């Protein structure tokens, strides 16, 4: 396969919510944008919306063994990977003592282990070009304590540590690694977490100085910024995109 000048971005969970908004921003910036998810219908709808520069791949990232061959196929077909946005994630709200071993492991598998495996495989390719940007998506759950999301909090806190560890090891080799910590963003995931829990919604908004939920596109703009040359001296940071939620009183 000949080397293409076309830049290639992978956005996991790019079929919906924040991931779809991130993918849209990369398409608008002329990246060939590969979106990964499990639900074919969601992927088809996203492809319809994003057009020719969007390439959907159906893959359950919990199936770790499927990841290395998928990355090899992407490289065979598109020649390079410039950007990886590790956005796919799941949440689970349960009382601490109700969380089973299986519940806990499942969240860790999707929100942490699969990100490590995909990043490792993509980094092997980025090392060949000596160039790349990886963006992990964390959460306010790792900035302060939120009740009833123990496994989610553990996974997102680990993502921030992993971002720093990856950044120190990979930045000397040309790969920048950063993290975005979204505040409360209007998506299906946050609707589930907030709409049936007015007290939690009130608390979230009460400490958000800008007074509104964020839009998925706000995270997309931050991701494109971190991926491109405007951020070429930025690595290892956790950037809150949160209307001030993380510093709110
Ligand atoms: P959504 O539920 O809308 O999107 C999650 C995406 O991840 C879906 O497209 C889903 O696709 C994909 N996904 C989940 N599991 C897998 C899997 N095993 N394999 C492949 N893809 C998978 O959530 P959001 O857009 O709200 O969240 C996106 C990210 O942002 C998450 O990491 C979340 O933790 C984080 N976040 C969100 C906040 C918010 O307020 N909404 C706040 C802070 C962080 P499919 O169903 O097709 O598999």
- Number of residues in the chain: 249
Please tell me the distance from the alpha carbon of residue 240 to that of residue 227, in angstroms, as a whole number.
Answer: 16
Residue range(s) defining the domain that contains residue 100: 8-187+215-240
pLDDT tens per residue across span 132-147? 999 999 999 999 999 9
User: Which pLDDT value is given to residue 190?
Assistant: 84
Residue 208 inside a domain? The answer is no
User: Which pLDDT value is given to residue 3?
Assistant: 45
Catalytic positions, written as ranges: 152
Residue 178 inside a domain? The answer is yes
Bridge partners (DSSP) listed for residue 12: 36
211: left (phi over 0), alpha (psi -120 to 50) or beta: left
Residue 197 inside a domain? The answer is no
Among candidates 43, 21, 20, 227, which has minimal Cα distance to 136?
A: 227
Ligand 1 atom nearest 185 alpha carbon:
40
Helix (H) or strand (E) holding 236: none
The residue nearest atom 44 of ligand 1, judged by CA position, is 139
The residue nearest atom 6 of ligand 1, judged by CA position, is 13
User: Which pLDDT value is given to residue 200?
Assistant: 86
For residue 128, what are its two tokens? 């060949």
User: Which pLDDT value is given to residue 195?
Assistant: 87
Please tell me the distance from the alpha carbon of residue 153 to that of residue 140, in angstroms, as a whole number.
Answer: 9
Which residue numbers in the chain have pLDDT < 70? 1-4
Domain count, the chain: 1
Ligand 1 atom nearest 137 alpha carbon:
32
User: Which pLDDT value is given to residue 79?
Assistant: 95
Helix (H) or strand (E) holding 32: strand 32-37
User: Which pLDDT value is given to residue 151?
Assistant: 98
Residue 2 inside a domain? The answer is no
Residue 61 inside a domain? The answer is yes
Helix (H) or strand (E) holding 82: none
- CB 38 less than 6 A from any atom of ligand 1: yes
Ligand 1 atom nearest 39 alpha carbon:
47
Residue 144 inside a domain? The answer is yes
User: Which pLDDT value is given to residue 1?
Assistant: 45
CATH number, domain with residue 156: 3.40.50.720
DSSP assignment string, 116-184 = HHHHHHHHHHHHHHT-EEEEEE--GGGTS--TT-HHHHHHHHHHHHHHHHHHHHHGGGTEEEEEEEE-S
The residue nearest atom 10 of ligand 1, judged by CA position, is 13
Q: Encode 142-168: b = buried (16+ Cβ within 10 Å), e = exposed.
A: bbeebebbbbbbbbbbbbbebbbebbe
Residue 140 inside a domain? The answer is yes
Ligand 1 center–CA 228 separation, angstroms: 23
Please tell me the distance from the alpha carbon of residue 21 to that of residue 77, in angstroms, as a whole number.
Answer: 24
Residue 118 inside a domain? The answer is yes
């Amino acid at each position: 396969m000949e080397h293409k000048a076309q830049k290639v971005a992978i956005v996991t969970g790019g079929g919906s919510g924040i991931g779809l908004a991130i993918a849209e921003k990369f398409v608008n910036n002329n990246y060939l944008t590969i979106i990964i998810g499990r639900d074919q219908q969601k992927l088809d709808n996203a492809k319809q919306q994003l057009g020719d520069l969007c390439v959907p791949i159906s893959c359950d990232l919990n199936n770790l063994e499927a990841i290395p061959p998928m990355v090899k196929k992407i490289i065979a077909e598109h020649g390079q990977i410039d950007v990886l946005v590790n956005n796919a994630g799941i949440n689970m709200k349960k009382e601490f003592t109700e969380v089973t071993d299986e519940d806990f492991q499942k969240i860790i598998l999707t929100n942490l282990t699969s990100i490590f495996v995909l990043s490792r495989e993509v980094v092997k390719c980025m090392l060949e070009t000596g160039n790349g940007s990886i963006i992990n998506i964390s959460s306010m759950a790792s900035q302060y304590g939120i009740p009833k999301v123990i496994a989610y909090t553990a996974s997102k806190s680990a993502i921030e540590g992993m971002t720093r560890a990856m950044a120190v090891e990979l930045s000397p080799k040309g790969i920048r690694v950063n993290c975005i910590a979204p505040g409360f963003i209007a998506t299906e995931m946050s609707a589930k977490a907030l709409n049936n829990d007015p007290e939690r919604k009130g608390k979230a908004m009460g400490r958000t100085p800008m007074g509104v939920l964020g839009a998925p596109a706000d995270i997309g703009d931050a991701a494109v910024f971190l991926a491109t040359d405007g951020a070429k001296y930025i690595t290892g940071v956790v950037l809150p995109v949160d209307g001030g939620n993380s510093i709110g009183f």
